């Protein structure tokens, strides 16, 4: 059946396969050559395969033609050539050309390494990449890597980094803690910068970290100071009774701490009481 499909009189079957009307091609093949549906489908698949193989070589030629037109700046000609080869619409051809990678430039022996270096030294990296591609015919990625490496070579070795002076910690902390405790945030940042030479961002981060430490220390001190001031017995009674919300309110009333700290403290105390009850015989 495959041999019959290659007969000149079956050119219309081949045309149907080329335009993608497989069903009509199978039907016409059976009318002319008989055979089963499976045989006809096999013959049509053989035709489609031969077309695909032949078209591959044609498309390579078309691709080279399109690249040549794009190199010369003839984008309209490239679109027209693509349409001639594929039969697609104008919109599809424009999209295909737009998505097509930029063609490699032709090798130009007149462009030298000095031309590339001159563009690099002038701070014109795109031009340097273009010159290198013209000189070697390489792709864009290779040109990018070369220009980066060459830029580093031309810049020479980097000077050793200066060793920063250690911050004056002795005069930093007491005044810093005073400013944080007084909620003077901006003066605290300025003080930290003046003593350490840090950037604004680093100073803000350090102030936030120190403020958290001071708050935790203050909370612990206040909680410790009021443990014997009516806190613990009532707190333990509420926890054992399962009245956690009341326990948290009681803890806040006695200590004046924030809700989160009070909740954590009550949860921790509940854990302690649970361990004590399990250990008691």
pLDDT, tens digit (0-9, with 9 covering 90-100), for 27-56: 888 888 888 888 888 888 888 777 765 655
Q: Are residues 138 and 48 in the same domain?
A: no
Q: Are residues 219 and 253 in the same domain?
A: yes
- Judge whether 106 lies within some domain: no
Distance of CA 180 to the CA centre of its chain: 39
24's CB contacts (< 8 A; 6+ apart) are 16
pLDDT tens string 101-113? 666 556 666 778 8
Q: Are residues 183 and 131 in the same domain?
A: no
- Judge whether 168 lies within some domain: no
Look at residue 166 in the predicted model and tell me its pLDDT. 46
Q: What is the mean pLDDT of each run of 10 residues along the chain (281 residues)?
A: 49 79 85 86 81 57 74 81 79 80 64 85 84 77 85 72 49 81 84 82 82 73 56 84 87 78 83 75 55
d(CA 33, CA 40): 8
Distance of CA 188 to the CA centre of its chain: 37
- Judge whether 161 lies within some domain: no
- Judge whether 164 lies within some domain: no
- Judge whether 151 lies within some domain: yes
Q: Are residues 43 and 9 in the same domain?
A: yes
- Judge whether 136 lies within some domain: yes
Sign of CA dihedral 148, 150, 152, 154: negative
Look at residue 161 in the predicted model and tell me its pLDDT. 54
Q: Are residues 91 and 36 in the same domain?
A: yes
Q: Are residues 187 and 223 in the same domain?
A: yes
Distance of CA 10 to the CA centre of its chain: 54
Q: Mean of the per-residue pLDDT values for the chain?
A: 76
Q: Are residues 93 and 148 in the same domain?
A: no
**Number of separate domains in the chain:** 3
pTM of the model: 0.27
Q: Are residues 181 and 246 in the same domain?
A: yes
Give the position of tokens 């691709």: 63
Q: Are residues 6 and 88 in the same domain?
A: yes
Q: Are residues 254 and 189 in the same domain?
A: yes
- Judge whether 107 lies within some domain: no
Q: Are residues 151 and 91 in the same domain?
A: no
- Judge whether 201 lies within some domain: yes
Domain containing residue 127: 113-155
């Amino acid at each position: 059946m495959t041999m019959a499909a290659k007969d000149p009189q079956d050119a219309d079957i081949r045309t149907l396969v080329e335009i993608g009307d497989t069903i009509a091609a199978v039907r016409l093949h059976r009318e002319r050559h008989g055979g089963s549906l499976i045989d006809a489908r096999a013959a049509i698949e053989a035709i489609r395969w031969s077309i695909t193989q032949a078209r591959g070589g044609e498309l390579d030629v078309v691709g080279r033609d399109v690249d040549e037109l794009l190199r010369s700046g003839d984008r309209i000609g490239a679109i027209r050539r693509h349409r001639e080869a594929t039969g697609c619409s104008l919109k599809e051809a424009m999209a295909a050309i737009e998505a097509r990678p930029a063609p490699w430039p032709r090798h130009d022996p007149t462009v030298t390494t000095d031309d590339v270096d001159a563009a690099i030294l002038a701070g014109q990296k795109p031009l340097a990449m273009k010159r290198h591609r013209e000189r070697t015919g390489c792709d864009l990625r290779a040109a990018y890597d070369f220009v980066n490496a060459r830029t580093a070579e031309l810049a020479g070795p980097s000077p050793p980094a200066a060793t920063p002076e250690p911050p004056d910690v002795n005069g930093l902390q007491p005044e810093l803690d005073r400013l944080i405790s007084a909620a003077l945030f901006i003066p605290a940042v300025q003080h930290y910068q003046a003593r350490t030479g840090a950037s604004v961002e680093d100073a803000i981060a350090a102030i936030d970290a120190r403020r958290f430490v001071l708050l935790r220390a203050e909370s612990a001190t206040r909680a410790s100071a009021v443990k014997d001031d009516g806190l613990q017995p009532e707190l333990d009674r509420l926890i054992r009774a399962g009245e956690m919300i009341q326990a948290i309110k009681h803890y806040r009333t006695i200590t004046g701490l924030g809700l989160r700290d009070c909740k954590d403290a009550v949860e921790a105390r509940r854990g302690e009481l649970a361990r004590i009850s399990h250990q008691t015989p």
